[in-house]
Structure 1
């Protein structure tokens, strides 16, 4: 009988004998190392037998599992691991199939030790780089199983933590194994990501782990720590086409578990994403957040505020300019949510406060977006925001059709973007398309909105951080105590003020007359005026500002509609402002005269000084009953002109006051002036505007030869004459009296009207143009009206 057994044993395949020999009689002794080396050598010498070795090990392992001989199961898995590490033959794929079946078999067991052992083997397998890819291998079961293990809810905490750690390591191995090979299963498929990402977030959201001090050492074996590492690894491996597959499940998880309020965990998740994702893909994350915000348009303001708060943090991290190709679309989405919030504002006080917090979050986020843009785009963004105001066509319609809260929010948005902009030249900062609407917004009825507009102007004008020093109307004995930072204005900025300065002056003048002004309005106007003088302190500009100050003083003296409080405030403002202008001009005689008027006011009219006029503790009975001001308490135009002339300045223009229309106090219950400084139309480039040069009339015939001759001639021959003519025109408008310029302008206007009347006279009224049959029969030659003339086809567009 024994001989038969020996004979049968000799007939068994060698690989089976080698496999059986690695198992000891006593499982406590562990794997038989010598026999394991023989098995490994055999597998390396005969790689075609590797798949059969795997199949036989699988059969042996199934038998041990059914017999609940756990120690032999561990020995079998140890042998499998060693064979995987040692063998790299092409036939390894067939062995892997048996290996994965054995891992799956152990993962399906209820014993935690077997699940942990199987996961460890899978992780070792995941770290092996295979020579040939497998096109048919699937990992669906492992995705589901490892995700399930990551959510383990076993009662015993130690075992629960081990299972969760094993599940997370399994997911990490799965990602590493599949993400680098496009020919294998697509791990980025939503079916897989919807299981993997929530499993990671579930473990990361551990209050006890989140509460740990950031500087204290962390437990690297804690599931939260492992989940965070795996999450970072997943994001790092995401490409352009797969990043949304990760961000989408994150957003859904935050929604399902109400993690937007509070949003600390959401902020943590997106910080990890923004720091881990490739820089060029950061804008995709931001776009996904914006789209998700659109889905919550009707949600609670706290939820929307939480999303915007996360968006704000994401923008802080994103690289400069990395907010996608459609910059304006990003701002359009945020502004749309701002408008929706205001349009649907709640009447409940508590809910409205939440909405205001959300609106502030949106404004801050817009500002942070703008901070990532180059300066030229920031101006475009401000113009884009300005375009959200109603397209008013007259001064009376400024902002009239829009909700006041929305207007204020848009102005706050402009201010936030302006704080991120660094002014270099005023011509770039204030293009006409932006400057004119902004100045018109300074005439809004709401005084707080006017203050905000002035703050925007101050932020854009101030290049030396002088705004803080000029926030209040003060009259120091020595202006140098204000420690103002000054710098000589560039020629480009001076030309800008000569071109657009009248816009500033007119709107400042108008603002001074607003009957709804408060102390904050006057202080804001004083700051804006002072910054204009400091940043553009050219002698000619200072002269214009002096002229503006004197005109405002004249307006206060002659106006009967302003209350005494406003008159005192304006007089105090003018005193402080002319004091600064005298300091900037460095004209000692002017400074002495200003101090003389100030001393006179201290003795005879203290209410005209800032210390009294801007004291917020004043009451109506604190002011005197009469608003008459003595001449010696006012700044005299003639004396200021003498001071300027004695120092070599041309003071002739100081006597020319701004043209004003009657002050209108009937618009909407709020006073508004309609002055028109720009009624003078100066065309420097126009030859017709020159007093000594006239447009030539070319009667000669224009032929092809003459055109060739003109093209062949050098333009340098006429350059000197053109430059001379241009300088002559410029000099004319600089030195000519104001009345002469007005007369010339009126003459041009009359010439235009005369031509227009002449054209209209030549055009018959259709009602008077009825031809009778008799006229046709007699062949009468009736005059053909201009609008019935038949032009050749070449003349018709």
Structure 2
């Protein structure tokens, strides 16, 4: 009988199942003494040796924590959470056996809404759990409650412990995000981003305070129970939110979920009326252009009373000089956007048939000045850009292509010439313009240094030419047939036709331009009839010389021998007929245009 008494059979100790005895033994009679480490080690050893008993032991531990929680026995609840952490870390390979009980216990603790101490230990335990990398995660696991609870903590508004609880909410969100963000099947983090992101942004916007708000809390440490005074400031809350937000964006970028985060940020800014666009360089450029237009309007008003207005001229020159200097220091892509901005602000002439002469002259001068500005900026852009990095699609967005291509067919000679030269600069990536600036018939093109089929065509250039080629040729057709065309206009057209063909380096583009030349020839041959003459003779011969020079260069460059021989023969026959006919104007034109080199 004494044996039974010594072994406590009289009190029924050994009648209790062993896993329950081991769980009971880890709790001391006085919670200030902390967990019994020896008995905790025995419990871990038992769980490892008999994993089939692990779920029962852990469930019993959770039941004890629940009873302590109902009885408001806070120190024992904290000890129980510490014991759960220890078992979770020791038996993480069998986590799926008892994880539901673990999460349910944390849920009960987190529901204690006014107990900072318990919430702090629960969040710390949840962080430890989220650090575990599971090889076979449970896809039926649901973290919805934790997302809602952590979100509520992030918005905690009572002054007492406000910053501390908000930090705990942020830490909980971060732990959950790290746990589930990289798992394709367990996507709780992305599913609840509409709650997570706004709560983080809210804490990033916490106003900075000069003095920290000190919150004194009594924290019971399971290992050695002491009292700690902790400080949590608004700056620390916003800093923590910033760190978490950066981590979320890094993970979102790697998981191609960046659009989810960006969309939620925009929604938050809209809801809180914080979407205020900042001042950009283009805002400043638009202001300069508006000042320039206003100056011309003032000049127009003053011109009615006094023909002299030197102050406005100085101001206009200063604005243009400022735009030039500003654009020269920009990178290529911003320089191109500045060109687009100026091109879109060009005034429209001939829109009002009753437009006063002085108003027309003012708009004419403004448009001419802006075109010269574009030309100057384009020269800088063309000299700095890399021929391998720029494509036609990049160079010619529709905001720039449309106004420039329309100016090619402008009735004003100055506008047509500037538009042609600007397009030359933008298209000429390989710097052909210097070698093709004059209309000449070449017997040997090797001295030009042009590529002979070695340059690969750009896949981005060919669709552009096929899409906008008709529009380009249509405007060029109108440009060629103007009566007031000068020699510089014909030179510019010839140079541009060659550059477009060489840059595209595509047989279809070459065929389209050749057909365009045949169409022009057929039209001017009909117009040369005395009854239908609409162009000066110099224009007729200039167009023929332009087309002949283009055919000569392309036929030799692409080794189309029969075509090249035919062009040479026709050119020689025309030159002989014109010279033998002793027509002075034709002789001069042929001497200028049909120089054999």
Place the TM-score, normalised by the shorter chain, in its bin. Answer: 0.5 to 0.7
Q: Contact 1:88/1:131 (CA < 8 Å) preserved in 2? A: no
Q: Structure 1: how far apart are the matches of 2:75 and 2:98?
A: 23
| Residues 133 and 687 of structure 1: CA distance in aligned 2, closer, same or farther (over 3 Å) | closer
Instruction: Mark the runs of 5 or more structure 1 residues left unpaired by the alignment.
Output: 212-217, 262-304, 313-362, 464-488, 511-527, 533-673, 691-714, 745-797
| Residues 9 and 161 of structure 1: CA distance in aligned 2, closer, same or farther (over 3 Å) | same
Cα drift, residue 731 of structure 1:
7.0
Please tell me whether residue 132 in structure 1 is matched to residue 136 in structure 2.
yes
SS in 2 for 1:222: helix
Structure 1 vs Structure 2 CA RMSD:
5.9
Q: Contact 2:332/2:381 (CA < 8 Å) preserved in 1? A: no
C-alpha distance after superposition, 1:309-365 (max 9, x if no partner): 6999xxxxxxxxxxxxxxxxxxxxxxxxxxxxxxxxxxxxxxxxxxxxxxxxxx9xx
Cα drift, residue 432 of structure 1:
10
Q: Structure 2: how far apart are the matches of 1:399 and 1:32?
A: 100
Identify the match of residue 121 of structure 1 among 117, 120, 125: 125
Please tell me whether residue 725 in structure 1 is matched to residue 569 in structure 2.
yes
Identify the match of residue 25 of structure 1 among 29, 44, 56: 29
Q: Contact 2:156/2:166 (CA < 8 Å) preserved in 1? A: yes
Cα drift, residue 25 of structure 1:
1.3
| Counterpart in the other structure of 1:437 | 406
Identify the match of residue 245 of structure 2 among 223, 231, 235: 231
| Counterpart in the other structure of 1:259 | 274
Cα drift, residue 149 of structure 1:
0.8
- Mapping 1:408-447, distance limit 5 Å: 421-423=381-383, 436-438=405-407
Q: Structure 2: how far apart are the matches of 1:310 and 1:13?
A: 77
Please tell me whether residue 102 in structure 1 is matched to residue 105 in structure 2.
yes
| Counterpart in the other structure of 2:214 | none
Higher relative contact order (CA 8 A, sep 6+): 2
- Mapping 1:290-309, distance limit 5 Å: 305-306=277-278
- Mapping 1:464-613, distance limit 5 Å: 492-496=433-437, 498=439
Q: Structure 2: how far apart are the matches of 1:77 and 1:132?
A: 24
Q: Contact 1:154/1:160 (CA < 8 Å) preserved in 2? A: yes
Q: Contact 1:15/1:53 (CA < 8 Å) preserved in 2? A: yes
Identify the match of residue 52 of structure 2 among 20, 44, 48: 48
Q: Contact 1:51/1:92 (CA < 8 Å) preserved in 2? A: no
SS in 2 for 1:57: helix
| Counterpart in the other structure of 2:205 | 205
| Counterpart in the other structure of 1:175 | 177
Q: Contact 1:30/1:75 (CA < 8 Å) preserved in 2? A: yes
Cα drift, residue 397 of structure 1:
4.8
Q: Contact 2:61/2:80 (CA < 8 Å) preserved in 1? A: yes
- Mapping 1:33-72, distance limit 5 Å: 33-72=37-76
Identify the match of residue 184 of structure 1 among 173, 183, 186: 186
Q: Contact 1:22/1:36 (CA < 8 Å) preserved in 2? A: yes
Cα drift, residue 37 of structure 1:
1.0
| Residues 165 and 444 of structure 1: CA distance in aligned 2, closer, same or farther (over 3 Å) | farther
| Residues 195 and 221 of structure 1: CA distance in aligned 2, closer, same or farther (over 3 Å) | same
Please tell me whether residue 143 in structure 1 is matched to residue 103 in structure 2.
no
| Residues 150 and 387 of structure 1: CA distance in aligned 2, closer, same or farther (over 3 Å) | closer
C-alpha distance after superposition, 1:499-530 (max 9, x if no partner): 99xx89x99999xxxxxxxxxxxxxxxxx99x
| Counterpart in the other structure of 1:242 | 257
| Residues 433 and 77 of structure 1: CA distance in aligned 2, closer, same or farther (over 3 Å) | closer
- Mapping 1:623-662, distance limit 5 Å: none
Cα drift, residue 387 of structure 1:
9.5
C-alpha distance after superposition, 1:7-54 (max 9, x if no partner): 622121111111111111111111111111111111111122221122
Q: Contact 1:371/1:420 (CA < 8 Å) preserved in 2? A: no
Cα drift, residue 422 of structure 1:
2.7
Q: Contact 1:235/1:243 (CA < 8 Å) preserved in 2? A: yes
Q: Structure 1: how far apart are the matches of 2:273 and 2:402?
A: 45
Please tell me whether residue 12 in structure 1 is matched to residue 24 in structure 2.
no
| Residues 420 and 72 of structure 1: CA distance in aligned 2, closer, same or farther (over 3 Å) | farther
Q: Contact 2:382/2:426 (CA < 8 Å) preserved in 1? A: no
| Counterpart in the other structure of 1:75 | 79
- Mapping 1:333-352, distance limit 5 Å: none
| Counterpart in the other structure of 1:792 | none
Q: Structure 1: how far apart are the matches of 2:333 and 2:96?
A: 52
Q: Contact 1:383/1:433 (CA < 8 Å) preserved in 2? A: no
| Residues 434 and 40 of structure 1: CA distance in aligned 2, closer, same or farther (over 3 Å) | same
Cα drift, residue 682 of structure 1:
2.1
SS in 1 for 2:544: coil
Q: Structure 1: how far apart are the matches of 2:413 and 2:567?
A: 44
Q: Contact 1:398/1:444 (CA < 8 Å) preserved in 2? A: no
| Counterpart in the other structure of 1:165 | 167
| Residues 433 and 260 of structure 1: CA distance in aligned 2, closer, same or farther (over 3 Å) | closer
Cα drift, residue 455 of structure 1:
11
Q: Structure 2: how far apart are the matches of 1:174 and 1:689?
A: 70
Q: Contact 1:23/1:32 (CA < 8 Å) preserved in 2? A: yes
| Residues 114 and 416 of structure 1: CA distance in aligned 2, closer, same or farther (over 3 Å) | farther
| Counterpart in the other structure of 1:195 | 195
| Residues 676 and 162 of structure 1: CA distance in aligned 2, closer, same or farther (over 3 Å) | farther
